[in-house]
Chains A and B, each alone.
Chain A
Amino acid sequence: MPDKKGSIFKKKAKEEPVDAGNLKYVGQSVKKVDGLGLATGIAGFVDDIELPNLLYAKILPSPHAHAKILSIDASKAKKLKGVKAVLTYKDLPRIAHTTAGQGYPEPSPYDTFILDNKVRYVGDRVAAVAAETEQIAEEAIKLIKVQYKVLKPVLDMEKATEKGMPIIHDEKEARTIIPLNYDPKRNIASQVKALTGNMAEGFSNADHTFENIYYAHYASHAANETHIVITYLDGQGRLVIRTSTQVPFHVRRIVAERLQLSESRVRVIKPRIGGGFGGKQEVLIEDICSALTLKTRSPVKLHYSRSEEFIASRTRHPQRIILKTGVKHDGTITAIDMDVLMNTGAYGSHALTVACNTGSKVLPLLRCENVQFKAQTVYTNLPVGGAYRGYGATQGYIAMGIQVDEMAERIGMDVCHFYKMNHIKVGETSPVFKALGEGREGVLQTIESCGLDQCIEIGATAIDWYAKKERYERQTGQIRKGVGMVALMQGSSIPDIDMGAASMKMNEDGSFNLLVGATDLGTGSDTILAQMAAEVLDVPVEKIIVYSSDTDLTPFDVGAYASSTTYLSGYAVIKTAEDIRSQIFDVAAEMLKEKKADLYVKDSAVFSKKTGKNITYQRIGLHSLYEKNQHQIASVKSHITHKSPPPFSAHFVEIELDMDTGKVKVLKYVAAIECGRAINPKLAEGQTEGGVLNGISYALTEEYIFDRQGRMLNSGFDNYKLFYPADLPEIRTILIEGYPEPTGPYGAKSVSEICINGAVPAISNAIYNAVGIRLRKPPFTPEVVYTSINK
């Protein structure tokens, strides 16, 4: 029997992708490794441990959008019985940093302090308290006397750079640590420009030009588990941070830096996480909680309330996009000019990179030689933007997804056909890949897998596109229906920047510990990484004991973001498992007295091709640890990517619109997705369904409502309207198989971000199909829709 488990790194694998028929664990809907623990309530989240003498932390939030702190008097709070520490800006080192959990050097501006003498949005941190009970901490907060000099706030992103506007970051420390176009004196947190081709020529070749303004609005990640951290000192006085994070290693680096500790004095543990969606790619509360532990020498817990989560964690960056395009009669796109204005709120977390992604994950989808992209991110005295599933692409597809519909309509071509004709194909590249990166130039890449045509065809059939589209164009009556669609792409990892690693060791019973820095935050990455290791070693998934993540134990990984875990960390796991396999062969060769080259693995055992002799992993494990030439079979491998191959997807939606009330109801949503090979189809579907529903409620009901002072009025689940089971429309996820990505682990690409980008444009297009009105500013609440159709 030939060794079918040869390295997938071989050149050969590139031309002939691994045949799905040969795979045993990859491509299977294996049960989630942590599933039953979670379903029985035992798997430990941050808050599920007991520590003696735990103190409770509370933050005093700013009541003003923009103010200078003239004085703080915490003496009364400190005297309250049970209060163990009060921190104000006077007690902490003043070190400018960014809360963005990005790799070093971060492209986000250093404009934040653990505590500052200025507050920049309602909810900004003013002081922190640690006390014996939550109630005492709350009382103590109220006893802190603060005198503010209230400053005029900047509440409209479109006016932020106007002359005479107050400067939000007037502190001298505000800067970027890599040369970028940072201009805080004009409230500009980032700006980028990219140009390929010749715009004037592009537009002059067009038969039709389009120009419109589109908006994306604030949204909360609304993870079920709000931000929470517990900090304590271990037996050696080292700081331990048990936190709900997507980026444990960045937490270690950044907290150490902010508190002037050596990284060796900090340990970060990421237990089970109750959802992240980008909101936890932020080093947000770990610093202040750590400071309280260092001050009190006691364990301290800081757990955001739901209201704090809305106001004082991170949000989706709102944008205004002016999109201009030129198209020929035959559908050729001659020019695309995208001009983005983005609101980052009071701090510039992810200010540059989210804006860049609005271009880099959207523009390459369509073939066009003349492309211009401009983005300016401005500060305002409003809640802070951050990483949010989709990461700028969500915003960009609102503009592009609606305008493509407008283009196709104008030239009289079906939009499905328009996409098929214009989307990037295998073997092609886009100049945008190179022109736009993450805070630096991008990486040129050629598309090596793309199943978008099939996504479009299968999706169209599933919703009965052609018949319905035409039928719905001519309706009268109070209830109208409509269909809409959009095509999408995303990326998989940040090429040449992200690094992921895994380590693995073999136990005497033939099981393996797989330690990964990659952070499973509910996404199922522990499971798919285990599947990959299981595939290489041909052992049941249960024999792979996954642990993520602990900076003392697991190797480095940038963390869970940029759709990188499968594509990047997956490869690290494969490399590690291959090395383990090789070490197993070494031992087996000795035990079986066979040549290593003749060995292969099968069903938790090593076999000889020549003689058929075999030996189980259990025997090998025992032997290697106890019997002869004792050693630990173990390995650590890392991986970096050089590409960010995009997954592709087509979304179709059918809606019903009540003309009298303006209420839009989604009847059916079809998401056809090509993500290379789905390592675990069920988990891939689950990612998609979750992202789709999040997208739908973002399109229809989720929004931040502020008063004139910049106070959020709906910071609770009562008035920030999310979808619950009773709101669920029919959602169909179709995984398009057969397009394995040659550079991906077992042909995989990313899956979990792309799915959130389709709902707004698809629904807007469906509304157009139903009533002939273009809506370009979500959310499409009943009132907005009603008012628009009756204008």
Chain B
Amino acid sequence: MLSDIRYYSSPLRVSDAVNELKKGKGKWAVFAGGTSAVLGRMGNVSGFISLKNCGLDHITQSRTELSIGSMARIQDILENKAAQKFAKGLLYKASYRIGSTLNRNLITLGGNIIQIYRWSDLPVALLVLDSKVNVKGPASRTLKFSDLLKKHPKTVLKYTDIVTEVRIKSPSGVFGTEFITFSKTEFDYALCNVAVFIQMNEKKCKDIRIAFGALQPLPFRAYKLEKMMKNKVIIDELIREVAEEASKSTEVSSDFRASREYKKHLIRVLLERAIKGAMKSA
């Protein structure tokens, strides 16, 4: 039992939920999939405002974008035809390796991008796509996904804010993607993961986005590496150079799961594979 929890409600509309959160004065929190909430990983919270009756679990595709409600479960993303294919399977690959089926049936997209841990997977993939986040609250707004990750999302958002959906622009042109993760077993947190989005113009790289996860408290884009590749003809040597640079310049620390040196090595190997994989899919 979570003995600190003394209040629970499940309003029917997002606006009601926002009002509830106001009443809670920061002591009540949004309850989505609940997997972090139930494990007591949310700190000083005494009430839950559940979004389960607010809808928000849609996955819809228009010509220009894929829109996923924040309450969509990771398993829904895995099983939804549009989401499966989107961005050449990038979201699918990232979702596939999150926890277990039993977990994925609970974990929501919203929870996964807000309750970020070092090893969170989906945010890494979302970082290399053109994604935006709709936020409802006293001041409703749309954030660039990367802005949500400027600091920890929980400090970027106010306690009265509710993420309602994530909108991802359909990539166009000749593009490829890849998501590669490394862990000791299948049901394990990533030691390192990499997402790559690449747009090609003949042999040249028109645009590339690279994001890493599991290395620092938050997933991050590797702008410097991207610059090394943009507008260049991509040959193996360049990829190796970029991977080398990534390994050299990325800050990581040792922990009991792996040493700093090994993680740095993984960066090199996985990035190389991810770039090649992305090119192959292009």
Contacts and interface: CB of A to CB of B under 8 A. Distances in A.
Interface of A: 134-135, 660-661, 663, 697, 700-701, 705, 707, 713-714, 718-719, 721-724, 726-727, 781-783, 786-787
Nearest to B183: A721
Contacts of A714: 256
Nearest to B189: A718
A787 B186 CA distance: 22
A724 B184 CA distance: 12
Given A134-B1, A135-B3, A786-B265, A723 B258 contact: no
A722 B185 contact: yes
Contacts of A726: 186-187
Nearest to B186: A726
A134 B189 CA distance: 30
A38 to B, nearest CB: 20
Contacts of B3: 135
18 contacts: A135-B3, A661-B266, A661-B269, A697-B185, A701-B184, A705-B256, A707-B256, A719-B189, A719-B257, A721-B184, A721-B188, A723-B185, A724-B187, A726-B186, A727-B186, A783-B262, A786-B262, A787-B262
Contact of B256 (A663, A713, A721): A713
The 9 A-B residue pairs with the shortest CB-CB distance, nearest first, are A726-B186, A783-B262, A660-B269, A713-B256, A705-B256, A724-B187, A135-B3, A721-B184, A721-B185
A724 B185 contact: yes
Given A713-B256, A714-B256, A724-B100, A781 B184 contact: yes
Interface in B230-272: 256-259, 262, 265-266, 269
A726 B184 CA distance: 12
Contacts of B185: 697, 701, 721-724, 727
A723 B1 CA distance: 29
A655 to B, nearest CB: 15
B102 to A, nearest CB: 11
Given A661-B269, A714-B256, A719-B257, A724 B186 contact: yes
Interface residues of B, number: 18
Given A700-B184, A719-B257, A724-B185, 8 more contacts: A134-B1, A705-B256, A719-B189, A726-B186, A727-B186, A782-B262, A783-B262, A786-B262
Contacts of B269: 660-661
Contacts of B184: 700-701, 721, 781-782
Interface string B72-87: 0000000000000000
B182 interface: yes
Contacts of A663: 182
Contacts of A700: 184
A727 B189 CA distance: 14
B186 A783 contact: no
Contacts of A727: 185-187
Nearest to B268: A660
Contacts, number: 44
A701 B183 CA distance: 11
Interface string B113-131: 0000000000000000000
Given A701-B185, A724-B185, A135 B1 contact: yes
Interface string B181-222: 010111111000000000000000000000000000000000
B182 A661 contact: yes
A719 B258 CA distance: 11
Nearest to B257: A719
* Residue picked from B185, B258, B266, most chain A C-beta under 10 Å: B185
* Residue picked from B100, B184, B188, B266, most chain A C-beta under 10 Å: B184
Given A135-B1, A723-B185, A783 B100 contact: no
Contacts of A661: 182, 266, 269
Contact of B259 (A134, A135, A660, A783): A783
Contacts of B259: 783
Nearest to A714: B256
* Residue picked from A134, A700, A783, most chain B C-beta under 10 Å: A783
Interface in B147-192: 182, 184-189
Nearest to A787: B262
A783 B256 contact: no
A700 B1 CA distance: 35
A718 B183 CA distance: 12
A340 to B, nearest CB: 28
Contacts of B256: 705, 707, 713-714, 719
Nearest to A722: B185
B74 to A, nearest CB: 16
B168 to A, nearest CB: 28
Nearest to A133: B1
A768 B195 CA distance: 34
Contacts of B100: 724
A324 B100 CA distance: 46
Interface in B12-39: none
Contacts of B262: 782-783, 786-787
A499 B144 CA distance: 72
A718 B187 CA distance: 9
A781 B185 CA distance: 10
B266 to A, nearest CB: 7
Contacts of B186: 724, 726-727
A714 B258 CA distance: 12
Nearest to A790: B265
B1 A783 contact: no
A418 to B, nearest CB: 33
A726 B259 CA distance: 26
A780 to B, nearest CB: 11
Nearest to A717: B187
A129 to B, nearest CB: 16
A615 to B, nearest CB: 56
Contacts of A723: 185
A701 B256 CA distance: 13
A707 B187 CA distance: 24
Nearest to A718: B189
Nearest to A781: B184
B100 to A, nearest CB: 7
A714 B256 CA distance: 8
Nearest to A135: B3
A136 to B, nearest CB: 9
B32 to A, nearest CB: 20
A139 to B, nearest CB: 8
A721 B182 CA distance: 14
Nearest to A662: B262
Contacts of A782: 182, 184, 262
A788 to B, nearest CB: 12
A348 to B, nearest CB: 28
B96 to A, nearest CB: 11
A719 B3 CA distance: 26
A285 B186 CA distance: 34
